[in-house]
Structure 1
Amino acid sequence: MTAISLGPSPVRRDALARRIRLLVAATITCNVIEAVVAITAGIRASSTALIGLGLDSVIEVSLAAAVVWRFSAAGHAVREAREQRTLRITAISFFALAAYVTVDAVRALTGTGAAERSVPGIVLAALSLAVMPFLSAAQRRAGHELGSASAVADSRQTLLCTCLSAVLLAGLVLNAALGWSWADPVAALVIAAIAIKEGRDAWQGKGCCAAPTAAMPAQRQEADACGCRPGWDCCN
């Protein structure tokens, strides 16, 4: 019978943990800047989508800090407990973001307020699209190999930031070029829908964990859906 790897060696795990901490530090730095610029520009332009991106960046900073907190723990049991707390905090943050953005977007669509053009917002969204995918991919690979659901969740949040930036950019450009002020709250509602999905995934603890035995076909299919490498299963 072919032996199934139970995961990386202790030395490799330490290296992966260090890599994740460095990637998280870079993510925190980018998101602090993004949050300040997005929220400031969003308030000035009355842009729900832009404020939503800024609040998402705040959530990303909180989650990234929680991941650092998780990897600073000594002992497997403590790390696992912190893992679950991190995922719960992530999910609640996503749901709160979705609720705020939805209410404000509906308010804008009903004529309470219209978003103005925002050149800083367009520049910010474009820069986010250029940077965030690389950070997300690097952390996701390390999180999968290490079997950390919280690291994978953080990488998903970074990828979510990329998706939100794309939606935001479309809404801001349409508003600036064609005067379609409704494009901003519509973009915000898309952001809310994505946030709800990510919150649900985080609450369920979707990620990758080492499989102690060979996975059955159905389990293997589920693990493939999570993007887990051979020898690993989805964490739930």
Structure 2
Amino acid sequence: MTSCYWESFNNLSGKVVMNASYFSFSTSSLLCCARRCKSQRKCLSINYDTIERDCILNFKSHVSSNTQLDTSSHIRSYDISIWSDEVLFMGGCSNHSCRYDLICNEGGSDQKMPYTCVQDTQCQWNDGCTACLQGSGQTIQANTPNYVAVGCYHAPNTNTGFNNYVNLRSQINWHDIGATIRACALEAKNRMLLYFGIEFYGECYMRNDTLEASYRLVSASKCTERCVLGVGAQHTLFVYQLQ
């Protein structure tokens, strides 16, 4: 693997992506920070502290998240889309198609797949449980609507505001719970609805507007209990938005 090195970059945005981090680590190299982000499709931007040498990976970009002006000049923030695979020496992981929550590692079984997709074991849960989602399969699924996780919520008994419903519990494959999410996404797309959520592992709820204030985010400490593999447990609703 090519070693990472320090390189200076101009044209900084002057803004920092806030409330979207899912992993941080220490490195003396901005390039290493960006390379780690590029290896995981979930990572859309980085914040790099040039004094503490901390690299922060974000699951939102400058466009999709709330940003705030950077009052401390030692924080550099970039959308990963501005970095080319060539600059980051991505090698076999260039243009990889690993599933969004997996990490690309160079070295595969053949030339057609010169990399492997491995589980992210160091992710840190956030309130709402969107940071460390684990799906199924190695690479992204074809013919599936694009969607992004909004958050995992404590759901009122009536699931206020969700007027469209399909029960997918009879179709649950416990070895591929992601299939339930994809099926619900397709139901929402076919009904031309923007948001969908899954409660009790297989109950698919759909709507066209944002959630009411009565929905409360599940805390990070409860993610593995209430928000299993991207679907909600009983009385818990994992919400997504179609892209």
**Structure possessing the higher relative contact order (Cα contacts under 8 Å, 6 or more residues apart):** 1
TM-score by length of 2: 0.28
| Structure with a larger share of its residues in helix | 1
TM-score by length of 1: 0.28
